Amino acid sequence: MSFLTVLGLFCGVAYVGRDVIAASVTRVVDEIWEKPISVQNPQASSAERGRGAERAFDGSVRSWASEGPANGGVDYLEAGFGVPFRLTYVVITSVASGSDQDPAKERRPVKVEIVAIRSDGAQASLTVELSDSVSGPQSFYFGADQTSAVKLRILESAGPEGGHVSVADVQFAGRR
């Protein structure tokens, strides 16, 4: 084959796969430049006394817990941020090891909708499933520009019937 034929084939393949190539380049840039992003305004649908939303974002073994029995699709955590950024990863730890959590009485999230909210109100969402076999943090790539808040809606939880849902820790990574 001649050089021009090979070059033409290469350009044709690159043109057809341009969206995949662009997404791959963006992901590589995300991986290189991401940094931890601090939560400025933690909120929750409800909270058991002494176990407010801030506990899910403080990086400790303490955990947030809903006030009443788990209510799929209604229970949520929300994190507000001071300056919009490109959200790259959400890291969720569902089981806490702190003394304030009693696994025999609490439910853990198994299906969560992550909703990235832009400063103009536009939203993007990703539904993830948390694995039973992983006791530590679980990371999920998102890739949402101009994120000013993130809401984690707990769609399904597992554990004792009538128990409240609990989340040990949520962390965010991104780039500004």
3-state SS string for 52-84: CHHHHHCCCCCCEECCCCCCCCCCEEEEEEEEE
Give the model's pLDDT for residue 26. Answer: 58
Give the model's pLDDT for residue 66. Answer: 93
CB contact at 8 A, 172 and 79:
yes
Pick from 106, 117, 34: nearest CA to 75: 106
99-116: buried (b, 16+ CB within 10 Å) or exposed (e) per residue? eebeeeebbbbbbbebbb
pLDDT in tens, the chain (176 residues): 676 665 565 655 555 555 555 555 556 655 677 788 999 999 999 999 999 999 999 988 788 999 988 888 899 999 999 899 999 999 999 876 555 566 678 888 999 999 999 999 999 999 999 988 777 899 999 999 999 999 999 999 998 888 889 999 999 999 88
Which conformational region is residue 146 in: left (phi greater than 0), alpha (psi within -120 to 50 degrees), or beta?
left
CA-to-CA distance for 79 and 52, rounded, in angstroms? 12
Residue with the two structure tokens 């409800």: 46
118 pairs with which residues across the strands? 147
State pTM to two decimals.
Answer: 0.82
Give the model's pLDDT for residue 17. Answer: 57
The CATH superfamily holding the domain 37-175 is Galactose-binding domain-like (2.60.120.260)
